[in-house]
Amino acid sequence: MTSLAIVFGMLPIALGLGPGAEARAPMAHAIIGGVITSTLLTLVVVPTVYELIHARRSH
């Protein structure tokens, strides 16, 4: 929920809406990309790697 709030909060800046947003758009792009990447890593990649390692040690 927090990740979605950050992404949706940065969308107007990333799209260049509002005064001065064109100067801040690259930072918004970086923040959105970082939040999405870290969320995917935390929720998908880390648990998957953990399960793979755990499965190998169990055999």
pLDDT score recorded for residue 51: 96
Work out the average pLDDT over 8-33.
Answer: 92
Band of the pLDDT at 19, cuts 50, 70, 90?
confident
Work out the average pLDDT over 31-49.
Answer: 97
Q: Is 13 exposed, middle or buried (0-12, 13-18, 19+ CB in 10 A)?
A: buried
Other CB atoms within 10 A of residue 59 CB: 4
DSSP 26-44: HHHHHHHHHHHHHHHIIII
Q: Domain boundaries in the chain? A: 2-58
Question: pTM here?
Answer: 0.81
